Chains A and B, each alone.
Chain A
Amino acid sequence: DAGVIQSPRHEVTEMGQEVTLRCKPISGHDYLFWYRQTMMRGLELLIYFNNNVPIDDSGMPEDRFSAKMPNASFSTLKIQPSEPRDSAVYFCASSLVADSPLHFGNGTRLTVT
């Protein structure tokens, strides 16, 4: 299994631009998670999906952030418009069921100038 695949690996954009991060979970995993990691706040859970349905988005910082999961093998995290404070590493993770271990991708490093 290739594991959780995220793209792009690095993204540099200017303030105000739209940014889309992509994730392919492990096949057969019913749960998908988006996390953000910064030096100041560490790893934070943004949102999670169960069977493609968003269940808890209480960690999404504001309305500029949105996440979708159109099918079991693909999810996106979109930031529109982006701001410099959104600069972070964004991780996607998936798990087989709710209480099984999470498997993380290698993240997307986002820099907003």
Chain B
Amino acid sequence: DAKTTQPPSMDCAEGRAANLPCNHSTISGNEYVYWYRQIHSQGPQYIIHGLKNNETNEMASLIITEDRKSSTLILPHATLRDTAVYYCIVRPGGDSSYKLIFGSGTRLLVRP
């Protein structure tokens, strides 16, 4: 399974964009990039996922490089409630698609 590398912690000011990077240099063609976050004392929450095109939803945008070896999750206007651990996950396709393997993530602190 492809592994991901994320910075252990980041911070940003409330109202500013938060850009969370992720490296996944060993990703293969049928593997998706997924992002989850975990707010303290809650279960992981799905944010967004993509294969090779950039994706946007009501929560965030996902920018995947053309070679697919890295991606960036963008929270356009971070709020205090976005303080959480953010997990970048490479999810296999096919028969192993159920495998969602969590790493250690990036702890994002949004400052007032």
Contact = CB atoms under 8 A, between A and B. Distances in A.
A33 interface: yes
Interface string A80-112: 000000000001010100110111111100000
Contacts of A56: 98
Size category of the binding interface on chain B: 10 to 19
Given A99-B93, A105-B43, A33 B98 contact: yes
A101 B46 contact: yes
Most buried by A among B97, B100, B102: B100
The dominant DSSP class at the A interface is strand
B43 A42 contact: no
Interface string B61-76: 0000000000000000
B101 interface: yes
A4 interface: yes
Interface of A: 4, 31, 33, 42-43, 45, 48, 55-56, 91, 93, 95, 98-99, 101-107
